[in-house]
Chains A and B, each alone.
Chain A
Amino acid sequence: MSGTHLILNIEGQNAIATLVRTSGSSPAAQTIGSVTNALHAPRSDWRAIAEQVNARTLVSLVVPTEWCASREAPIEPRDWARSENAIRELVDSTFPFSSSEAHVSLIVLDAHTTSPRTLIVGAARARIEPWLDAIPTNLAAGAIRAVPEAAGLLGLGAQHDDACVIVDPNPAVGASMHRFERGSLVSVGEPFDSDEVEDVRALGGRVMVLERGVEVPIAGETVSRVSFAAGTAMEPLAAPGAVRPFVGERSRQARPMLVPAGMLAAAIALVIAGVWYESQRYSGALERVASRRAALADSVADVTAERDAALRARDTLEGEVAPTIDGWRPILPTLREALDALPDDGFAYRVRLDARRVEMSGEAPRAAEVLERLDASNAFTSAEQTQPISTVPIRELETFAVRAERTEATP
């Protein structure tokens, strides 16, 4: 976040202007002028300040502590809007002016605990409004707000310390001190007690002393007026939502769950987008691949036909034709050899010869001789009888039925 912020401090009847330029979380502050008797000064007295201000400049009028009355109340910041009546009643009953005559500012105490409280700060309208009127009269400012001095405490960076005490030797109201614990402003305007300050220091806490132009009987980091003005400018950034000003909009309250929720949403969106993107990528790639396949379709059909024809021809040639031709041997010599197994006075009823075996039946003087001759032949092997031998008395011959395997038979 960056911008220009004019802090207008009131000292008596005078206005002291500090210009704070913020860039990120680092402010650059500079006192750019002061106006004596500011409410009645001519515009020319404001010129040095007016030259540094434009319509984008936020002007914060810092209401002096001595103009204010304050009281703590157990009201949580989220209930501020609902508690207007209670706040008004509290102002009416405890402040030296009525709620209708006052501007009220609210500051969060114990912000980082489960039960934050509220510091109610009131200031008389009659004192603040002339200043609020003087600002647009003399400066071409943008937004204008009025905050109590205590708002500047929230911009000093004490949120980073376990414990911090800020000593304010304000001569107008007497020395007081403001305390931070574990990053939260826990008290404002306690009476100054050097022992308590030393206790904080002894426990490793931080001690700061506001520069007020008076001697302070305690050591600590000095916070110059300019630095405190810078703190006032940084308050909306350092403690957003912690202050409701007298006049002007409350800074946007921090939403601590916003970042985690955003991260969660981003993570889910990332995962969904990732799945979607992957799906889109695959869809696009699918279209490209499909178009490439379509372009190849004719070639694929041609090659497929060519391949199938070639494979079919090869299978036929190698699987059937070649083995068939290889087995083509003349059958006549083998047939002759089978018939030679018959003795001269024997004869055959039937002879069957194929590529594997011969089967023969007939009559012979001695059936076993047929079997012996077949077995002795080079053309046959494993000769065997296939039927019992019987005798034909009328011819004095024996019947035979034999079978033998061809020796050159193909498997």
Chain B
Amino acid sequence: MTNDRVRKGVMLGVVLLLVALVGVDRLGLLTPDDDAPASARSAFLVEASALESDRALVDARPAWASLARETDEQIARLQTIALSERTPELAQGRMRDMVVAAVTQLGLDRPRTSAVDLTRANAERERVQIIALRVDLTATNPREIFSVIDRLENMREPRLHVASVELSGPGLAQIPRQVDATLRVEAIVLLREQNGGAS
């Protein structure tokens, strides 16, 4: 083989190598793996994607503001039926006072009350919460219990709801002519901010 042929062979080899390198490069095999954390490309893609997400979030600000206004309006409409207090505990206390007043005004003995744990709505940071109170009271006949329920259910500002009733006696009560009742009473609470303004 002459030197000329050898040279042509080598040059052809170089061209083929170049073609192979270009092909490999086009297939992305020369660039680092996308999953490699040290790769500038993957880091850029992650950051660029995060930037796009940030921009989309900022661009959507009017929509979130609109949703916030809508929820504020819905909450404002609840003010006529809800207890407005700074904390759930204060609201619970006020609700207890209302229930006790309703019962005692009907000539019944002062009832025993206890707060009932509720679900997620009672998370501290929720502006609107549902609170519940268990009320144990005693009457001489069911009609007195009916009166209490009627009075509680007809309160309007704030509105109370009797969620359940349990009556015992007088059929086989240990004490003759005694009806024991356990009510579960619920109310909506609007938590005010610490400065006193309605939230």
Contacts and interface: CB of A to CB of B under 8 A. Distances in A.
Nearest to A320: B121
Contacts of A303: 57-58, 60-61, 64
Contacts of A311: 67
Interface residues on B, range: 35 or more
A304 B58 CA distance: 9
B71 interface: yes
A332 B167 contact: no
A289 B48 contact: yes
Contact of A289 (B11, B47, B75, B150): B47
A307 B11 CA distance: 64
B58 A296 contact: yes
> Most A CB atoms within 10 A — which of B40, B58, B169?
B40
Given A257-B10, A317-B71, A317-B128, A325 B188 contact: yes
Interface stretch (B17-25, B83-91, B93-101, B106-114): B17-25
A317 B75 contact: yes
A394 interface: no
A59 to B, nearest CB: 31
B194 interface: no
Contacts of B64: 303, 306-307, 310
Contacts of A112: 2-4
B33 interface: no
Contact of A256 (B3, B41, B70): B3
Given A112-B4, A336-B146, A347-B170, A293 B128 contact: no
B71 to A, nearest CB: 4
Nearest to A113: B2
Interface string A320-334: 110011001011100
A349 B168 contact: yes
Interface in B18-48: 18, 21, 25, 30-31, 39-41, 43-44, 47-48
Contacts of A352: 164-167
Contacts of A293: 47, 50-51, 54
B79 to A, nearest CB: 13
Interface majority SS (helix, strand, loop, mixed), chain A: helix
Interface in B137-188: 142, 146, 149-150, 153, 159, 161-172, 184, 186, 188
Contacts of B57: 300, 303-304, 307
A349 B171 contact: yes
Nearest to A285: B44
Contacts of A271: 21, 25, 30
Nearest to A280: B40
A148 interface: no
Nearest to B47: A289
Interface residues on A, range: 35 or more
B192 to A, nearest CB: 15
B120 A349 contact: no
B145 to A, nearest CB: 9
Interface string A276-307: 00111011011001101100100110011011
B195 interface: no
A402 to B, nearest CB: 15
B166 to A, nearest CB: 4
A282 B43 CA distance: 8
Nearest to A339: B142
A317 to B, nearest CB: 5
Nearest to B13: A260
Contacts of A219: none
Contacts of A259: 7, 11
Interface of B: 1-4, 6-7, 10-11, 13-14, 17-18, 21, 25, 30-31, 39-41, 43-44, 47-48, 50-51, 54-55, 57-58, 60-61, 64-65, 67-68, 70-72, 74-75, 78, 81, 119-121, 125-128, 130, 142, 146, 149-150, 153, 159, 161-172, 184, 186, 188
Given A279-B41, A325-B81, 7 more contacts: A259-B11, A283-B44, A293-B51, A296-B58, A331-B164, A351-B167, A353-B164
Interface of A: 112-114, 182-183, 256-257, 259-260, 263-264, 267, 271, 274-275, 278-280, 282-283, 285-286, 289-290, 292-293, 296, 299-300, 303-304, 306-307, 309-314, 316-317, 320-321, 324-325, 328, 330-332, 335-336, 339, 347-355, 362-363
